[in-house]
Amino acid sequence: PKTIYLKDYTPAPYLAKQVNLSFNLLPGKTIVTSEVKYVKNSAGASHDLVLDGEDQTILSVAKNGQPLSDYTVADGQMTIANPGDEFTLTIISEIDPAANTALEGLYQSQGTYCTQCEAEGFRRITYYQDRPDVLSVFTVRIEADAKAYPVLLSNGNLQDSGKLADGRHYTVWHDPFPKPCYLFALVAGDLERVADTFTTMTGRKVDLHIYVRSGDESQCSHAMESLKKSMKWDEEVYGREYQLELFNIVAVSDFNMGAMENTSLNIFNTALVLAHQETATDSDFMSVEGVIGHEYFHNWTGNRVTCRDWFQLSLKEGFTVFRDQEFSADLNSRAVLRIDDVNSLRRLQFPEDGSPLAHSVQPDQFIEISNFYTKTIYDKGAELIRMQHTLLGAETFRKATDLYFDRYDGHAVTCDDFVQCMADASGRDLSQFFRWYKQAGTPTLQVSSQYDAAQQSYTLTFRQSQPDTPGQTDKQSLHIPVALGLLDANGKEILPTHVLEVTAREQTFTFIDLPGKPVPSILRGFSAPVKLETDLSDDDLRLLQVHDTDGFNKWEAGQTLALRTIQRVMADSQADISQFIADVGILIEQGLAGRGDKALLARALSLPMIGVIGQYLPVIDPAAIDAARTSVLKQIKSAHKEALAALYDANRNTGSFSITPEAMGRRALQHAVLEILTTTNGTGCASRSKAHYDAADNMTDRVTALACLSDSGQPQRAEVFADFYARFKNYPLVVDKWFSLQAIANREQIFNDLAMLRSHPDFNIKNPNRVRSLYTAFAINNPVKFHDPSGKGYAFLRDAIIELNAINPQIAARMVMPLREWKRYTPALQAHMKAALQAVLDTPDLSSDVFEVVSKSLN
Ligand code: HT7
Ligand code: ZN
């Protein structure tokens, strides 16, 4: 496989002035006619027109209407030497969507034709310059059987439609905004439409349509409301209006990722559209809102202003994640969302940044771009935008984004261009800040403090360090915004949030006129994606946990105390942790007194997950972490059983179901409490969980009960899982949950369970959601059994990767991820993980997707 380098970028040799595509959808084949008007690009280096194309049979090629034979096809490219300054090229080819199991290009999901062109799927549809800096105006004609495929959609506005002979029909779509081919989309199927409208800030009416399979219409209202909220939010917060007359969303069951932002024809995984209290959890409702927002926001950040090349992927993804995070924060509880986002960053992105696959937010090289849709590009990328927002302040940041949209609407640009807009609008020099885009790895920020009673001054010293990562050593210091507050010994805030800018390797800040030693609240709101090491005492943390005005740092103080407690138990299983246990009692009492936000209390009562704890240890032994964590949970239960039971009872479901932040907070709190109460997995625990299930009137409570029963050896476990399956077997997204909730069980017979699930009639290796529900759930959310000392967990994943390599390389490559941090584990586990990776690497006919991640992991 060939490595592609950022340094080799050159502008496209030809511009595509206009693209006319015609699709004839026939049984067993699709005929694609592509007619493209090309003009020589004066900035282009070469005179040859080089078109990308894969998995298709060329039927004919013509230039200006005359058959052309003077071209070569090799290694997925058609080359036409020196075709002239301006000409029309017509290529007719044949593809087979029904045989397309990779789910890239044009494929079928349960009979519905749909497309996925990002990043390089368009080349599976027709020969074209498949790169994001070639922007063109598309007109698309679709022809198909009218009865089987009554709905025929593409980007833009409907221009024409009509009936044809033999029961066929057609539509013609025109998208007036030039776009790269990765934003092209087509859908043809027998789908139901849910319709609404939105009136934009200048009074234009936009039709909003969500297409789903018959029977799913009643599960679309949350997605539709979320879409309208997104459109309004983008107008209010960024001044961005939607430009077309129509916005379509289509939900399909077979999809490699969550959703795709194709201009005016978003295609979604059903998991991120359908939501109803009976079938979706609170977390599903939140994801639908967030992803509907994310795809809608791409309309400006990605579509109207797009990427010059795929090394700039974070230009659109990092910015759009930041936008969707802020959208959700404005609509819900800001502190809760920040906690959940940071938890996810630490659990998934920090390990990536410390692995052999660590890469910068603007990478320098890749083999398969689809392997770079990573937590680093998306979530660390969003943190980079957040830091710029923090450094500039909301008002100047908005000026900078206005400048960005004005300057680059209709252009394909780079991350450098974005940061330059931030610099130009603020008058600041952000050249040091740009190093965040180029240097991989999570920096460590050490902070030490000194109080001088005589001078009444307080000094904080910051030391930053950057870890070596593959291909990068001796890194330079970064520009780090550190949001800081100071509290006095009584917990009163004496310095409200103030942003310090740490730019040197070592830097001190002195605060004067302080009559007593303050307690610092450092990195409020997690103002930079760093590993923070402080000299705060347990008492300092306890003060912050109670009094900090920053919701994130209040939670963070409690988590740091929990982490220290678990580490103490890991070092000495008999360690005295009574102070920590007593502190948890205070939190429970607060809950019983009805003080504070329930969603925040739920998070405060949840111990850090095994994956997060592992990040703070030199060598990861999941079983040892689990033993210590479980011991702490058991001590909490034993000390506070009555109070916890009372807190559970006080938060019982009364009244009708709703998804307000308050209602979700109450359910989350009940879940956190039930998890502690059922931690010993005895008969009483099982009865409690079963009672929770029996009382449930919504999916969140049912899933809570199943999660608390999952590890249990009591008979209620089988009863409840059987009832759940019987009730929901006709709802694929709920059957996914049934698979996952069993795959995450930390119990002896797990490997038999996994074998049973793998051969279950509902398992389908070709459906990515089902594959994730079994394999990803197991490998990510069952750390103890995935890292079983026998190596059986790794073997289970290894076999699936090998099987999927030939079916769906993108999904196969993603499944390698849990193995890539092998060097962080104990020597015995390392050996098994390495052997699993090697077995995959030794597989014949390895796709370039899997080859890239496995070979880099082993390096
Ligand atoms: N921009 C979209 C990316 C995407 C994708 C990438 C590779 C393979 C399949 C894919 N489906 C969607 C998703 C997003 O970030 O909005
Ligand atoms: Zn995106």
The response to whether residue 314 sits with its C-beta less than 6 Å from ligand 1 reads no
* Residues with Cβ within 8 Å of residue 109, at least 6 apart in sequence: 103, 252, 253, 254, 255
Secondary structure of the chain: what % helix, strand, coil (to 5)?
45, 25, 30
The response to whether residue 261 sits with its C-beta less than 6 Å from ligand 1 reads yes
For residue 246, give the H/E element and its range. Answer: strand 246-252
Residue in the block written with tokens 């062109």: 117
Residue in the block written with tokens 């209202």: 221
The response to whether residue 317 sits with its C-beta less than 6 Å from ligand 1 reads yes
> Residue 45's pLDDT is what?
85
> Domain 729-859 is of which CATH architecture?
Alpha Horseshoe (1.25)
> Residue 654's pLDDT is what?
85
Kindly report the protein residue whose alpha carbon is nearest to atom 11 of ligand 1: 257
C-alpha 291 – ligand 2 centre gap (Å):
8
The response to whether residue 373 sits with its C-beta less than 6 Å from ligand 1 reads yes
Q: Is the peptide bond before 119 cis (omega within 30 degrees of 0)?
A: yes
Alpha carbons 298 and 314: distance in angstroms, whole number: 12
**Atom of ligand 1 lying closest to residue 370 CA:** 7
Q: What is the DSSP letter of 476?
A: P
> Residue 396's pLDDT is what?
99
C-alpha 269 – ligand 2 centre gap (Å):
13
Catalytic residues: 295
Please name the fold of domain 444-535.
Answer: Immunoglobulin-like (2.60.40)
Arithmetic mean of pLDDT, 404-414? 98
Radius of gyration over every alpha carbon of the chain, rounded to an integer in angstroms: 28
Alpha carbons 274 and 258: distance in angstroms, whole number: 12
Q: How far is CA 718 from CA 703, 709, 710, 727, in A?
A: 14, 9, 9, 14
Closest ligand to Cα 262:
1
| pLDDT of 655 above 90 | no
Neighbours of 100 (CB within 10 A): 18
The response to whether residue 257 sits with its C-beta less than 6 Å from ligand 1 reads yes
Please name the fold of domain 4-190.
Answer: Immunoglobulin-like (2.60.40)
* Residues with Cβ within 8 Å of residue 90, at least 6 apart in sequence: 33, 34, 35, 36, 60, 61, 62, 63, 65
> Residue 759's pLDDT is what?
98
Point out which residues pair with 88 in neighbouring strands: 37
Where do the structural domains in the chain lie, given as residue ranges? 4-190, 306-438, 444-535, 729-859
ipTM for the whole complex: 0.99
Each residue's pLDDT tens digit, 377-408: 999 999 999 999 999 999 999 999 999 999 99
C-alpha 405 – ligand 2 centre gap (Å):
18
Alpha carbons 275 and 812: distance in angstroms, whole number: 28
C-alpha 298 – ligand 2 centre gap (Å):
7
Each residue's pLDDT tens digit, 19-65: 999 999 999 999 999 999 999 999 988 899 999 999 999 999 999 99
* Residues with Cβ within 8 Å of residue 333, at least 6 apart in sequence: 597, 599, 600, 661, 665
> Residue 553's pLDDT is what?
98
Helix orientation angle between 282-297 and 661-677, rounded to the nearest 10 degrees: 130
Query: pLDDT > 90: what percent of the chain?
Result: 99
With bands split at pLDDT 50, 70 and 90, how would you rate the model's confidence at 272? Answer: very high
Q: How far is CA 686 from CA 97, 187, 738, 769, in A?
A: 48, 47, 18, 29
pTM: 0.99
Mutation to probe ligand 1, out of 109, 118, 379 (largest number of atoms < 8 A from CB): 118
Neighbours of 743 (CB within 10 A): 25
Alpha carbons 819 and 826: distance in angstroms, whole number: 13
Which CATH class name applies to 306-438?
mainly alpha
> Residue 59's pLDDT is what?
98
| pLDDT of 174 above 90 | yes
User: Which amino acid would we find at residue 692?
Assistant: H
* Residues with Cβ within 8 Å of residue 509, at least 6 apart in sequence: 459, 460, 462, 500
- Contact call for residues 469 and 364 (beta carbons, < 8 A): no
Q: Do domains 4-190 and 444-535 have the same CATH topology?
A: yes
* Average per-residue pLDDT for the chain: 98
C-alpha 259 – ligand 1 centre gap (Å):
6
**Atom of ligand 1 lying closest to residue 369 CA:** 7
Each residue's pLDDT tens digit, 821-839: 999 999 999 999 999 999 9
Each residue's pLDDT tens digit, 530-586: 999 999 999 999 999 999 999 999 999 999 999 999 999 999 999 999 999 999 999
* Residues with Cβ within 8 Å of residue 462, at least 6 apart in sequence: 445, 446, 447, 480, 482, 500, 502, 506, 507, 508, 509
Each residue's pLDDT tens digit, 215-257: 999 999 999 999 999 999 999 999 999 999 999 999 999 999 9
> Residue 139's pLDDT is what?
99
Report the DSSP pairing between strands 205-212 and 246-252: parallel
Kindly report the protein residue whose alpha carbon is nearest to atom 7 of ligand 1: 370
Report the DSSP pairing between strands 105-109 and 112-116: antiparallel
| Burial class of residue 845 (count of CB atoms within 10 Å of its CB; 0-12, 13-18, 19+) | exposed
